[in-house]
Amino acid sequence: MGVRIAFDSEVVRWDARTESWFFVHVPAEISSDLRELPAPPRGFGSLRVEVTIGATTWRTSIFPGRDTYSLPLKRAVRDAEGLSEGDVVSVHVDVLEL
């Protein structure tokens, strides 16, 4: 594994009109550090990661935005951990492929 980070973040919905896209955002100061990593080029500047929330671990990508990286939360993860919009979760992320 490459870099390991941990943070707390609120579950947010991408668009209030849909039920399908939920995210947590990596804090700005950590996102700034992630932008400095020597990572291979990927789609949209994303980084491959392994994430743990509660008892659920999965691999996905985090995507850069203006100030923060965003971590998508698929339905299976939200259901397994009982997560809803507005919940604050503890997130553990291992950045892969450095």
Element (H or E) spanning 37, and its range?
none
In the chain the domains, ranked by start, together with CATH numbers, are 4-95 (2.40.30.100)
pLDDT tens per residue, range 73-98: 999 999 999 999 999 999 999 998 75
Global pTM?
0.87
Average pLDDT over residues 7-32: 89
